[in-house]
Amino acid sequence: MRRETRLCHYGQPNRPGPANPPVVRASTILHDTVESYRDTKRRREHDDSVLSYGRRGTTTAHALMEAIADLEGAEGAWLLPSGVAAISSALLALLRPGDHVLLVDTIFGATRTFCEEVLSEFGVSIGLFPCGTTDLAPYLRPQTRLVFVESPGSQTFEVMDLPALCACAHAAGVVVMADNTYGSGWLYRPIALGCDVSIIAGTKYLGGHADVMMGAVSASGEAAARLRKAVHASGQGLAPDEAYATLRGMRTLSLRLERHEHNAMALAAWFAERPEVLGVLHPALPSHPGQAIWKRDASGSNGLLSVVFAPGFDTEALLDRLRLFGVGSSWGGFESLAMPIAPDRSRPSLQDFPQTSEIVRFHAGLEHVDDLIADLDAALAVQGPLER
Ligand SMILES: *Cc1c(COP(=O)(O)O)cnc(C)c1O
């Protein structure tokens, strides 16, 4: 069955029944007999779809776990209350005092903060490597246990060669974990490319409507067993309403991403012609250094693009004038967004970046692209063309 069809049927209850798995709220699950109670406890040891107690998730969360595991091509998926919770829980599950973890230098900011400010206090040392790396040898230490990758980066979209990097890491016995929020399991599947663990901030495209916070961590084999144990033992999970909203959002994941991609590509082409613009960053553009690898490994791109404006251009005035693009964090919802970004100047992989430029990350929403362009056009017209 094709993936689009599976999106429509994930978690459907037996018929006759509702089209969606209902929101089941519960702490206690009642049994008539002690035998049934004991049997449930036994079965849940090896099966996360057993309804045993609210902390282990009810049928609503179980449906979503199965859907995300299938989307990611993993043995199992575990749910957490935010993307950052999924990231921090996975790192705590897989690392021990004395270990060394390598982060790609384009990693999501909050991931780096967690590692540097919390994980380090548990005796885990942290190293960074440039996103173009395929040979990890210069960065590996005898204590290196895990490499955390993210492709493309979520601000300037550097693409990594995951198959090459995973082969190198595995040869050294190192686990590879990916932040797959950009591809959200639809455009990009890190586990099929060699990664051991994949994490999605479902807050973005899985929920898709800017009203859900959730994260998922998917894995197979030994990594899955360790993640499962840690998630259950630490009492992590996702509330039934959030699980329901995420699965409901996923029904239209492929359709929404098609439209996001279409709008982002149209905006990229439009920006590229503007005199105020030095360059447009988007992994599917021929001008992007990662385009060949992205084409090889991904089935498409999402609604994100970053625009490098000429030095001195007043990006704040532009953002303040836009009507259809809200200014705000996050992305992946139906709505268009704009946010000034300042990619960390110390990132070695960003050496070629125009150091003095103003960069804005846009998220192309599901609006009609003509209206988005008209909004940008009107805002720039007021501002006047930049002297060059
Ligand atoms: C948003 C985001 C996260 C964190 O997700 P939250 O649900 O906001 O905690 C992690 N990684 C990437 C790439 C993101 O864009």
Domain presence at residue 148? yes
| Atom 2 of ligand 1: nearest residue by CA position | 201
- Check which CATH number belongs to the domain holding 225 and give it: 3.40.640.10
Q: What percent of the chain has pLDDT over 90?
A: 93
> Do 111 and 245 have their domain in common?
yes
Let me know: does 386 contact 310? Beta carbons within 8 Å.
yes
- Distance between Cα 78 and ligand 1 center (Å): 16
Cβ contacts of residue 280 below 8 Å, gap of 6+?
A: 268, 271, 272, 287, 305, 306, 307, 308
Q: Which residues pair with 304 in a beta bridge?
A: 363
Q: Is the pLDDT of residue 387 over 50?
A: no
Count of structural domains within the chain: 2
Enclosing domain of residue 27 = 3-250
- Tokens representing 200 are 């999605």
SS3 category, 52? coil
- The pLDDT-based confidence of 383 (bands split at 50, 70, 90) is confident
- Tokens representing 63 are 């449906």
- The pLDDT-based confidence of 344 (bands split at 50, 70, 90) is low
> Do 268 and 229 have their domain in common?
no
> Do 27 and 158 have their domain in common?
yes
Q: Is the pLDDT of residue 152 over 70?
A: yes
- Report the nearest atom of ligand 1 relative to the CA of 215: 7
Residue 343 is predicted with a pLDDT of 81
- Distance between Cα 359 and ligand 1 center (Å): 20
Domain presence at residue 151? yes
| Atom 6 of ligand 1: nearest residue by CA position | 83
Domain boundary, last residue among 197, 225, 250: 250
Let me know: does 177 contact 197? Beta carbons within 8 Å.
yes
Outline where DSSP puts E strands in 210-317.
215-219, 277-281, 304-309
> Do 214 and 297 have their domain in common?
no
| Atom 8 of ligand 1: nearest residue by CA position | 83
- Tokens representing 222 are 């030994």
Q: Is the pLDDT of residue 348 over 70?
A: no
Q: Does a cis peptide bond (omega within 30 degrees of 0) precede residue 152?
A: yes
> Do 99 and 21 have their domain in common?
yes
Domain presence at residue 388? no
* Bridge pairing between strands 144-150 and 100-104: parallel
Kind plus residue range of the DSSP H or E element containing 148: strand 144-150
SS3 category, 315? helix
> Do 190 and 50 have their domain in common?
yes
CA angle 108, 111, 117 (to 5 degrees): 135
Average confidence score pLDDT of the chain: 95
* Contact residues of ligand 1, CB 6 A cut-off: 82-84, 108, 110, 150, 154, 179, 181, 201, 203-204, 213, 215, 330
- Distance between Cα 135 and ligand 1 center (Å): 27
- Tokens representing 10 are 């994930």
- Distance between Cα 114 and ligand 1 center (Å): 13
- The pLDDT-based confidence of 388 (bands split at 50, 70, 90) is very low
Residue 91 is predicted with a pLDDT of 98
Domain presence at residue 75? yes
Residue 201 CA to its chain's centroid (Å): 5
Cβ contacts of residue 347 below 8 Å, gap of 6+?
A: 105, 106, 130
- The span from the CA of 384 to the CA of 146, in Å, is 50
- Distance between Cα 304 and ligand 1 center (Å): 14
| Atom 5 of ligand 1: nearest residue by CA position | 83
- The span from the CA of 105 to the CA of 109, in Å, is 10
- Distance between Cα 289 and ligand 1 center (Å): 24
- Report the nearest atom of ligand 1 relative to the CA of 86: 9
Cβ contacts of residue 263 below 8 Å, gap of 6+?
A: 303, 364, 365, 366, 367, 369, 372
- Distance between Cα 361 and ligand 1 center (Å): 15
Q: Which of 79, 149, 181 to mutate to test the pocket of ligand 1 (most atoms within 8 A of CB)?
A: 181
Residue range 14-26: mean pLDDT, rounded? 97
Question: To which residue do tokens 């982060």 refer?
Answer: 103
- Report the nearest atom of ligand 1 relative to the CA of 202: 7
- The pLDDT-based confidence of 354 (bands split at 50, 70, 90) is low
State the DSSP string of 281-310.
Answer: E-TTSTTSTTHHHHHHH-S---SEEEEEEP
- Distance between Cα 181 and ligand 1 center (Å): 7
* Bridge pairing between strands 100-104 and 76-80: unpaired
Kind plus residue range of the DSSP H or E element containing 201: strand 197-201
What are the pLDDT digits (tens) for 92-105?
A: 999 999 999 999 99
- Check which CATH number belongs to the domain holding 362 and give it: 3.90.1150.10
Domain boundary, last residue among 230, 250, 270: 250
> Do 125 and 136 have their domain in common?
yes
